[in-house]
Amino acid sequence: MATTVSVSRGAPPPLAADRYERILAYAAAMLLAVVLVAIARGHAEWPRVPPLVWAHLLTILVALALTPVMLLGRRGDRRHRQLGTIWVVAMMLTALLSFGIRQTNHGAFSAIHLLSAFTLVQVPLLWWSARTHRVARHRGAVRAMVTGALLIAGVFTFPFGRMLGHWLFG
């Protein structure tokens, strides 16, 4: 006996990760691995790292670790919402803590602090779009935040004589 599958019009888009989200997830996992290697290689200098920098690193590690789990895992369920809340808190703390880190720019704010300010505005909006079931808006905001605030900003923590780059490349 043949079975038919009906497709209702106006059905919500599938919640599975698309190609771009899979790329973001794997890129976040790779960046996490590289950051952990850099931290391990810099162990001799750990005592000289200010607590504020350690707090900033910890919050970004949380966000990086959760990103692949959330992008590749089931969406919309209780676990996703709970992990999403942790991710939002980690991103907000990361951005807030960055305002206290100004050693690389002679005590002044740098261009990266503009991204921190943007993050402080966009992450709550991202969270609110999820809470109000604006799935397409939420999905787009997550993709943009992971691309810019996590991955692009994360890559720029390695060049220009910055601490993680110094630790990684010696």
Locate 117 and state its tokens.
């300010």
Q: What is the pLDDT of residues 124-162, one digit of tens each?
A: 999 999 999 999 999 999 999 999 989 998 888 888 788
Is residue 130 within 8 A of residue 84, CB to CB? The reply is yes
Instruction: Say what the pTM is.
Output: 0.86
**Domain edges within the chain:** 19-169
Percent helix, strand, coil in the chain (nearest 5)? 75, 0, 25
